[in-house]
Amino acid sequence: MGDLRVVEVSNYCRSIFISEASVGNLFRALDSCGRFCIAAGSLSISFVSKKKMREIHGRFLSDFSLTDVITFRGDPDFDFAGEIVVCPSYALSQSRVWGTTFSNEIKLYLVHGYLHLCGLGDKNEEEARAMRSGEIFCLNFLKNFDLKVTLKPRIRNMPRTKPRRRNISNAQ
């Protein structure tokens, strides 16, 4: 692919920071690896809440359970390669379970979605083995790639204190 792929990133999660440039560069790196190929055209990446992910999962796959990533194939006639929807909250919990970083868990989900767009499945054991093999290859290819995804610090409401009362009768 001679032209750089356009990657549009939408972050609907207020609790995380995602570098759009970093996400775009990750997919352009995957495009350049030479082993997997997705359709030409722009790619849309959306980061959504758990509630939204359940809603999307239910609406399009008739399963209202929480999932990590959902992929929608695009239409090359409209210069659109597809959309990958990721749930960062799920990634955070799974990163703790598996002892990996939040950034690496997000990277895994993005790679998984990319491989779905390449035609890999995961509905049976054979497909799942091929998917896992593809994930391992891509993650090794990207091992030095710094995906800039971080949690924003939580700011708790400070307790409101009464303002000090000034004695204005003596003011000059």
Residue 96 lies inside a defined structural domain of this protein: yes
Residue 171: inside a domain? no
User: Which pLDDT band, with edges at 50, 70 and 90, does 14 fall under?
Assistant: confident
Among the listed ranges 62-71, 88-97, 102-111, 156-165, which one has the minimum average pLDDT value? 156-165
Confidence at residue 166, expressed as pLDDT on a 0 to 100 scale: 47
Q: Is the pLDDT of residue 142 over 70?
A: yes
pTM (two decimals): 0.86
Q: pLDDT (tens digit, 9 = 90+) per residue, 113-141? A: 999 999 999 999 999 999 999 999 999 99
Number of domains in the chain: 1
Neighbouring C-beta atoms of residue 158, cutoff 10 Å: 6
In a domain, 158, yes or no: no
Q: What per-residue string of b and e applies to 103-126 under the rule 16 or more CB within 10 Å gives b? A: bbbbbbbbbbbbbbbbebebeeee
Is the residue at 37 inside a domain? yes
What's the average model confidence in pLDDT over 146-166?
66
Tell whether the model's pLDDT for residue 161 goes beyond 80.
no
142 lies in a domain? Answer: yes
- Helix axis angle, 102-117 relative to 88-98, nearest 10°? 120
Across the chain, mean pLDDT equals: 88
User: Is 41 within the bounds of a domain?
Assistant: yes
Q: Which residues span the domain enclosing 63?
A: 7-148
Question: At residue 170, does pLDDT exceed 90?
Answer: no
Start-to-end CA distance of the chain, whole Å, equals 76
The CATH number given to whatever domain includes residue 117 is 3.40.390.30
How much is the average pLDDT of 87-112?
94
Has residue 55 been placed in a domain? yes
In a domain? residue 159? no
Q: Is 93 exposed, middle or buried (0-12, 13-18, 19+ CB in 10 A)?
A: middle
Binned at pLDDT 50, 70 and 90, residue 150 comes out as confident
Q: What is the pLDDT of residues 55-85, one digit of tens each?
A: 999 999 999 999 999 999 999 899 999 999 9
